[in-house]
Amino acid sequence: MNKIYLRPAAAALLLASGLSGCAGSAATTTTTPSSDTAAATKETIGDTRAPQTPAPAGTLTAAPAETPTEAGFQVVSEQFADLRMLRYQVPGFETLTPKQKELLYYLYEAGLSGRDISYDQNYRHNLRVRRTLEALWEANQERRSATTNTQQVDQAQKFNVYAKRFWFSNGLHHHYSTRKFVPECSREYFAELVRAVDASTLPLLPNETVDQFLTTMTPVIFDPTLDAKRVNQEAGQDLVKTSANNFYQNLTQKEVEDYYAKKIDKKDLTPISYGLNSRLVKDKSGKIVEQTWKVGGLYGKSITQIVYWLGKAVDVAETPEQKLALQRLIKYYSTGDLKVWDDYNIAWVRDTKSRTDVVNGFIEVYGDPLGYRASYESVVSFKDLEATKRIKAIGDQAQWFEDNSPILPKHKKKNVVGITAKVITVVGESGDAAPATPIGINLPNATWIRKEHGSKSVNLGNIVEAYDQANAGGSLDEFAFSDEEKQRARQFSSLAGKLHTDMHEVIGHASGQINPGVGTTKETLKSYASAIEEGRADLVALYYVMDPKLVQMGVMPSLEVGKTEYDGYIRNGLMVQLTRLPLGETVEESHMRNRQMVAKWAYEKGQKDKVIEKVTRDGKTFFKINDYEKLRALFGQLLRETQRITSEGDYNGAKNLIETYGVKVDPVLHKEVLARYQKLNIAPYQGFIQPRLVPVEANGKITDVKLEYPTDFAQQMLEYGRKYSFLPNVN
């Protein structure tokens, strides 16, 4: 639960402000080998992948790519539905050694090898649906190009949009709202496509006919009421039975909670992350069992591939510490032992000297309404040495921030240890981290490991840079109240956003402590744990971004940066993020709940002094901050309360805070915001086409790695489907 995502329209706000990018944004990466190497050896671009079952033959061609040396790199690729596809560059890749590039290539392949897992975790039918879309894609393109019938062209285009939405969300539930979306093309058109292709390319079950396949899969794809929500967080409902994710089978929420209540010892000071890497099911005899995700277990074929590539990475590890961490990760995947997972995390935290790094595993629990089971993800990266100076300066002062926090003294850590802070350059992402990506990460998630061994906090520098470069335009002028607010944003919003991310990850998630014997937040705060934790980390960032300490440290020029962040946070929490919700819906996603909770609580508590004022001008609503110091004090009060709730495990306090301030939406304001935002033609969600790493081989060994930038999202998804399909249709 320790991630931060770009706030809605933040990139639009930044670029509408005319901000320049970070230093190094124009850097290019050389893909060709050096002339010396080329002269010495005969080089070929090879595929060193592990042996695997061949994918069904198809008409797929490789996704078009820009070479990194092309001028005028285009960040924005396309826009469809409520989504916009971007691309990011990998500056500094050319400065890495051949061995470092080889290591990144192996980690990149390991990450993509687990891609199937994310689809199956999200929904039990997702792999069949994805492989159906892959099988039908070319036939649909041929239909679209072979006819002038506008209705047929329209149907074909609607099918394309659905397929791309599905790939973006790693399944048929929206990646953010988790609500099911359905195709706008007709069922009849879908059936025509299915019957037109070779049946052997369809994901048929044994002895299943095409007609039987259609009978089963049509409602799965087209019925919006069938498995309508992947993650249900609505109070008063059975969150397990009403969530469509594939983490539980034949169980109720109470049965799951009772199962873990018997297993977990709250007095254990170093508890494992119960349930993190398994599916919990009730078998035919009524016995509850965990199906562990490991080599030889559930998802074993994909995990075997992951382990293969991690094994190759071990051989070229940069440091002994990195080698040990990778070896422990392999052992964890091989055994499924969650104690080994803790051992790996400790080793990973201690690996601070390596330039390269990877997040790989079952990490975040947002996809489980009860917060036990984690989604697969991978982020492969290397350190941005220059940009890291800013975030490192913050991490080096962690104890000062803890000592001066407004939280209760008994909830403060007496000795903050081992916070490693850096800005990373992302090379490739997969699973739950792609196409939609976080911009900041703090790991490990285990509270006791962070307390005793420390944590790593990262800002995804080139991802943030790509957002900054993506010209969406208009949002700032539409929702900011005054010219002063707009001008301040144009000057400082890029830095303000980066500092918020730094403080959220480096200080926020690593701060505070839980009272002895209370237990973890997923046990105590249950479905509200993620929203409270993200709110707590946000409040740490908000409290300190208006502190003169940051000016004294030299990481920001003045408190005008803090004011910029306050303006944007309130504007987003009370208005702009509502663009992500259909009219009439409540807020359920944890990050959205936390932002609305913080903003609405501060607005309400400051009404007497008009700290934040609601203003109507020309029929439009605005929120204007009148007193930034009083607002900072309010943020401090709420930080103290969220930390108290966390430290004491106060479920009722968490429920009251989130349900009162984070869930309900003013329908009149919501309708207004949607109408204003629609005119801007800005997609509220953005994600990325990933770079492609291609090994250069000589005499059977990798001598270099080429970096390519594909330009076509659909073609990349089809390529991934062909190369990284390891799991059966039903798991």
What per-residue confidence (pLDDT) applies to 9?
44
d(CA 371, CA 534): 14
Q: Which residues pair with 431 in a beta bridge?
A: 377
Write down the pLDDT at residue 681: 87
In this structure, what token pair is assigned to residue 82? 């409520």
What pLDDT sits at residue 345? Answer: 98
Q: What is the token pair recorded at 58?
A: 């198809």
**Closest C-alpha to 55, from 729, 727, 725:** 725
Contact yes or no for 280/256 (Cβ under 8 A): yes
Task: Report how far residue 475's alpha carbon sits from residue 490's, in angstroms, rounded to the nearest whole number.
Answer: 12
* pLDDT in the model for residue 292: 98
Per DSSP, what are the bridge partners of residue 598? none
User: What's the pLDDT score for residue 473?
Assistant: 54
Contact 569, 547 (CB under 8 A): no
Which secondary structure element, helix H or strand E, spans residue 109, and what is its range?
helix 98-113
Residues in Cβ contact with 698 at an 8 Å cutoff, skipping those fewer than 6 apart: 37, 41, 42, 43, 44
Q: How many CA atoms lie within 13 Å of 456's alpha carbon, on the beta-carbon side? A: 23
Give the C-alpha separation, 675 to 298, whole Å: 46
Tokens of residue 308, six digits: 């293969």
List strands edge to edge, sheet with 278-282.
248-249, 278-282, 288-292
- pLDDT value, residue 437: 96
Distance in angstroms (rounded) separating the CA atoms of residues 579 and 683: 9
Phi, psi of 49 (to 5 degrees): -65, 155
Number of H helices, E strands in the chain: 27, 18
User: Do you know the residue count of the chain?
Assistant: 731
Task: List Cβ neighbours of 628 (8 Å cut-off, separation of 6 or more).
Answer: 546, 559, 562, 563, 566
Amino acid at 65: A
Per-10-residue mean pLDDT of the chain, 731 residues long, equals: 57 32 30 31 39 39 51 90 97 97 98 98 98 98 93 97 98 96 98 97 98 98 98 95 98 97 92 97 95 98 98 98 98 98 98 97 96 98 94 94 97 90 96 96 94 93 91 80 96 94 93 93 93 97 98 97 98 96 92 97 98 97 98 98 98 98 97 94 93 96 97 98 98 97
Residue 469 has what pLDDT?
Answer: 87
Q: Kindly give the interhelix angle for 590-605 and 560-574, rounded to the nearest 10 degrees.
A: 110
Tokens at 94, concatenated: 């050319």
pLDDT of residue 682: 87
CA 495, 498, 501 angle in degrees (round to 5)?
A: 150
pLDDT value of residue 419: 84
Nearest to 427 by CA among 5, 26, 29: 29
For residue 506, the 8-state DSSP code is: I
Angle between helices 560-574 and 483-502 in degrees, nearest 10: 90
3-state secondary structure of 290: strand
